[in-house]
A and B are shown apart, each in its own frame.
Chain A
Amino acid sequence: MVFGSIDPTLLLASLMVAATPILFAALGELVVERAGVLNLGVEGMMITGAICGFAVAVNTGSPLVGFVAAAAGGAVLALLFALLTQYALANQVASGLALTLFGLGLSALLGQGYVGIKPPRTPKLDIPLLSDIPFFGRVLFSHDLMVYLGLALVVAVWAMLKYTRAGLILRAVGENHEAAHALGYKVVRIRVLAILFGGACAGLGGAYISLIRVPQWTEGMTAGAGWIALALVVFASWKAGRVLLGAWLFGGVTVLQLNLQAAGLAIPVEYLSMSPYLITILVLVIMARDKSRAPASLGRSFHASQ
């Protein structure tokens, strides 16, 4: 009754949109962390992707090229992190934080000429027939390409980690890098590739905000989404499927609280906004009893010393 004016179909549809940026970034970070690397620079890579994608999309007129540029931009920034942590063996926590600082500054400089410009529209892909199905059509089959790409990426990452040799090696490197090294795997090379993948994904997530969700460029526009993505990976206990669930939960809490307010419900906004993080801690506690833990080598530097 109180919820009378909230249309669940539309609520879920906008939840899909709100979840997409953090979904991309979190999937990337998941692969990075599975390889045993903790990159806290997600926010910096996201915002760099947001401006790279925006600038290129505006200049070429093609959002698609923009997204490619965003992935490239995120990956280039991630390369800095890879050089620092994998070759110069710098501490990952400190390097990640420095990366965020660097990315925020860089994006603001690059974006100086792009304030107040409208990017080219990204068309919605209404999948014929499917989008006409009541309820599910609107919720699932009436979005832009990137939403589908995000969902496809969930499946791809899941399958890659679970079924492929590459996934096995990646996990081995993350669990025990000495053993993986002893088995002849190139620990550093694998980690660098994972970090680049993480950067590209974060870049895509950032560009989704600047090109589709908002769409515009303003300094600092990711407004903490990168940090949420980090929380999300933990919440998901390093499992791709649960990242999707988590993205819906984290994105959903914001969308839901805004909708409840619009419906005239007095809710304590701050306490509701805390809830995903408290739930994440709870998940960590439950998970600790379960078998699924953080990758054992997470955050540790590797140097092959003979």
Chain B
Amino acid sequence: MLKLEKRPQPSRFWTWLTPLLAVLITMVAGGALFAALGKDPVEAIATIFWQPLFGEFAFYYRPQLLIKGAPLVLIAIGLSLGFRAGIWNIGAEGQYIVGALTGAGVGLAFYPAESWAIFPLMVLAGGLGGWAWAMIPAVLKLRFGTNEILVSLMLVYVAEQLLAAMALGLMKNPEGHGFPGSRNLRQYESAHNAELIAGTGMHWGVVAALIAVILAYILLSRHILGYHIRLMGQAPRAARFAGVRPARLVLFCLGASGALAGLAGLFEVAGPAGQVSIDFNVGYGFTAIIVAFLGRLHPVGILLAGLLMALTYIGGEIAQSNLGLPAAAIQLFQGMLLFFLLAVDVLTNYRIRMIRREVA
């Protein structure tokens, strides 16, 4: 009989090996899936994992990895702080939308004035918007003891409706022939989150994501607040004796994750997406939750996990267009990858032991 035994310390060896193991298992299982669909499995897997990085057009796809990965990493870093402290914000999608709306709103309000100050103001507004949206579950939790998982999730739906209302109403492009959607911020110089170096994919969102990774690393490993966060998550009662004030942690963790999600929304709407439209949100807020766990809630891990997710998205698109794989197969493949990554993590914290049936 197999039995799990908790390790006294998470295993370093398995922490690094499990993601590789999961990717390998996924390649085998995914290959079988693609073969069942009548495609060459080796070619399909190579297209997904190799083409974006080292293929003929890698010079285009590598920057795209940054563009696709940056919002995931930015949001996931914020979420991981809370997750470590046992504070569960799963409404990042809503905070992302609201950040995009407030940020874009500021930009659109200034149109067509040109000034260097507009973009910084938008960044500020985007961060504040996400922060404010996350403060709702935080304040309700502290004031009434409501569950932040549920309140933040409900607010996603509210934000989605708000987005539709804005794209069809207040923010609709007056010169858009009656179609829904705002003006294109990419054609409004002062509001455009442009590439910093053309062709690299580096925009302010990527920079912000990298800064967030570094700050989170320092916070968690060097700063007293980071220590409190970890303590709160591992031993809430001990944390209280150590002088941790849970209310402050709730405000900090939800606030920080909301602000980062809001920033991600702003950078996206002012850059790669360009406009507020009904379908502006494509699930970054939810995918980031997965990224946070794939990265084992560690800043560097999240950075790598975000890039891996981005890789499967982009590689998946190439496989669709080059090999005629249906979009559904790619979705299924991603689902499998996540399953395996989550499943093998058990090896990090537990030891598998064969035991003989005990004599009761």
A/B touching: CB–CB < 8 A: yes
Q: Which of A40, A89, A97, A230 contacts B346 (CB 8 A)?
A: A89
CB contact between A105 and one of B4, B150, B168, B334 (< 8 Å): that residue: B334
Tell me the minimal C-beta distance from B142 to chain A in angstroms.
11
Shortest distance from the beta carbon of A248 to any chain B beta carbon, whole Å:
18
Confirm or deny: B339 has a beta carbon within 8 angstroms of a beta carbon on chain A.
Answer: yes
State whether the Cβ of A93 lies closer than 8 Å to any Cβ in chain B.
Answer: yes
B329 and A89 form a contact (CB under 8 A): no
Q: A88-B343, A303-B4 are in contact. Are A94 and B338 (CB under 8 A)?
A: yes
B28 on the A face (CB < 8 A): no
Q: Chain A residues near B294 (CB, 8 Å)? A: 94
Give the contacts of A267-306 with B (CB-CB under 8 A): 268, 270-271, 273-274, 277-278, 280-281, 284-285, 287-289, 293-294, 298-299, 303, 305
Is A221's CB within 8 Å of the partner chain B?
A: no
A112 surroundings in chain B (CB, below 8 A): 326, 328
B interface footprint on A98-117 (CB within 8 Å = 1, 0 otherwise): 11011111111100100000
- Are A270 and B162 CB-contacts (below 8 A) given A97-B289, A98-B338, A281-B151? yes
Known: A101-B331, A101-B334, A102-B336. A277 touches B154 (CB 8 A): yes
B112 at the interface (CB under 8 A from A): no
Report the minimum CB–CB distance from A83 to chain B (whole Å). 8
Q: At the interface, yes or no: B221 with Cβ under 8 Å from chain A?
A: no
A80 at the interface (CB under 8 A from B): yes
Q: Does B11 contact A (CB under 8 A)?
A: no
Please tell me which one of the listed residues B157, B162, B293 contacts residue A94 in the complex, with CB atoms under 8 A apart. B293
In chain B, positions 269-306 with a C-beta closer than 8 Å to chain A are 286-287, 289-290, 292-294
In the bound complex, do residue A294 and residue B150 qualify as a contact, i.e. CB atoms below 8 Å apart?
yes
Q: Among the listed B161, B162, B289, B339, which residue makes an inter-chain contact with A93, where contact means beta carbons less than 8 Å apart?
A: B289
A185 interfacial by beta-carbon distance below 8 Å = no
Asked if B184 is an interface residue, CB under 8 A from chain A, the answer is no
Note all chain A residues with C-beta closer than 8 A to B153.
230-231
> CB distance A94 to B158 under 8 Å?
no
Give the number of residues in B that approach A within 8 Å (Cβ atoms): 51
Partner of B332, one of A90, A109, A287: A109
**Least distance between A23 CB and chain B CB atoms (Å):** 18
Find the B residue at minimum CB distance from A219: B328
Q: Chain A interface residue count: which class?
A: 35 or more
Instruction: Tell me if A234 is interfacial: C-beta within 8 Å of chain B.
Output: yes
Asked whether, in the complex, the Cβ of A89 is within 8 Å of the Cβ of B350, the reply is yes
Interface secondary structure of B, over-half rule: helix
Question: Which of A40, A91, A103, A285 contacts B140, CB < 8 Å?
Answer: A285
Q: Does B245 contact A (CB under 8 A)?
A: no
A109→B329 contact, CB < 8 A: yes
Contact between A106 and B144 (Cβ–Cβ < 8 Å)? no
Q: A281–B346 contact, CB under 8 A? A: no
In the complex, whether B318 has a CB less than 8 A from a CB of chain A is no
List residues of B whose CB falls within 8 A of some A CB.
4-6, 37, 88, 90, 140, 144-147, 149-151, 153-155, 157-158, 161-162, 164-165, 168, 286-287, 289-290, 292-294, 326-336, 338-339, 342-346, 349-350
The 5 closest A-B pairs by CB, nearest first: A102-B335, A105-B331, A108-B328, A105-B332, A98-B338
Residues of A within 8 A of B (CB): 38, 40, 80, 83-84, 87-91, 93-95, 97-99, 101-109, 112, 219, 227, 230-231, 234, 268, 270-271, 273-274, 277-278, 280-281, 284-285, 287-289, 293-294, 298-299, 303, 305
Interchain Cβ contacts under 8 Å between A and B, 26 examples: A80-B339, A88-B342, A90-B342, A93-B289, A94-B293, A95-B339, A104-B328, A104-B331, A105-B328, A105-B329, A105-B332, A109-B326, A112-B326, A219-B328, A231-B157, A234-B150, A270-B161, A270-B164, A274-B157, A274-B158, A274-B162, A293-B147, A294-B150, A298-B147, A303-B4, A305-B6
Contacts A88-B344, A230-B153, A231-B157 aside, 12 further interface pairs with beta carbons under 8 A come to A88-B342, A94-B294, A97-B338, A101-B331, A101-B335, A104-B328, A108-B326, A234-B147, A270-B162, A274-B157, A280-B154, A284-B147
